[in-house]
Every structure is written in structure tokens, then in C-alpha cells.
Structure 1
Amino acid sequence: MTTPSFPELTQNVSRQLVPFRKSQAATMQGFSAMASAAMADGTLSEKTKELIALGISVSQRCPACIGFHTKALVKLGATKAEFEEALGVAVYMGGGPSLMYAAEALQAWEQFSAC
């Protein structure tokens, strides 16, 4: 497995979506509003919601999603133990393929923690 640069990956995805955000402004505004509402502190904290999103990212095998949610978790002060526990649930639910993406998530953690 090639070690991707998750900071570069997330920057590239964000950059590539700039024209799409303009051409599909209403859709992207709706998506952003949904994301903001879904991730806002409520009964569950924003950090808990990001841990859930990380697990889904791993089980759905989305490297860019892993990058964005790992970056958010580092920023929110998640511990490596919390991060690894969420990965454990993702592996339980997704089996071997999720284990491979959990390894990528651990790489993302190391990269974003070093920033």
C-alpha cells in the first residue's frame, strides 16, 4: 500500500472542488448546510460525530474522507486512543477491507498530528 500524503490529498480535493462549488452553488450550499447541522454539538459532541464519520469513512473505503475527518479529529483534540477505538469498531463492522483502510487512517493521524 502506498503511503499517501493526507494533507496533500485533502488540499487537492478542496482545490479541485472550487469550480464545482461555483457551478453547483445551490447543491454545495445545501451540502454545507447539512454538514454543519449534522456535525454541530448536540446530544452528541462534535468530536463524537467526527469519530462516527471516521468509522464510516473507513468502512466506505474513502481516503479523502479519512483525511478530512482525521484532520478534524486532531483539531478537536481527539486522543489517539479514541481514534484507534473508533477504528476498531469500523474494522469490526467492515472486516478485512476496513482493516486496510484503518491502516491508512493511522497514517493520516500521524501526518496531521505532525502538522
Structure 2
Amino acid sequence: MRKAFGTRKASFQRPILSTLPCVKDAIRTTFGVPAESQGSYAEPQVVERTHVKFKLLVRLDPSATKEPAETSRTVRYEFYHRSDTETGVNFDVDFKGALRDEWLEQAFIPLEQCGANMLR
């Protein structure tokens, strides 16, 4: 079971489906690895609206984190509808200690490049 040691929230002022292409490109540029989709779904809530949720997992390059491949760290992003024109994002890292806050800041970079605002 994956244990998250740090979690933050952010939001975009645009719909989820228009947000994801930018974020996926920014993740690849920032971390040098692609994001893997995990447990994503779209389901109708009402006739005119669909609830969409996407989970992206980023397995950080062990050479970049100086970790052995078998213990390399991950960043997880979970995107969801906040409204028809707003997307929410929860993101977390599985780092403990001093590196946690540093990696949470790193995890926000791809979101910020695509126009996200950090929520407090």
C-alpha cells in the first residue's frame, strides 16, 4: 500500500479535459519521465454533465533522486471537476523528512506552468 507523506491542493480555472494535455507535457518536461494514467474514469452524473476524474502517477527517475530503482519515489496527481469551468487537483509525494516539502514544491511546478493556483 502506498503511503503519502505530503499532500497539497491546487485548482485550474478551466475544464478538466482541456487541462490534462498541458499538464502531461509539463510533467514530462519537469521530471523527464511520462505520467502513467491510473484509475481514470468518466461517468454521467446528470444528462448534461459528466463527472470526470483522472489519476496520474509519476515514477521519478532513480538517477535524478539518487535512489535505487527498486525504491524510486513517486508523485501522484488526482484531477477532478470542481465545477463546469474549474478543475481541482490533489497531489502528493511519498517522501519523508526534509525532502517532502522540497518535492511538493517540485510536484507543483508542472501544474503552475499550466496555470494552476495553489490552494491553502
Q: So what's the TM-score if we normalise by structure 1?
A: 0.32
Q: So what's the TM-score if we normalise by structure 2?
A: 0.31
Comparing both structures, which one devotes a greater share of its residues to helix? 1
Which protein, 1 or 2, shows the higher relative CO under an 8 Å CA cutoff with sep ≥ 6? 2
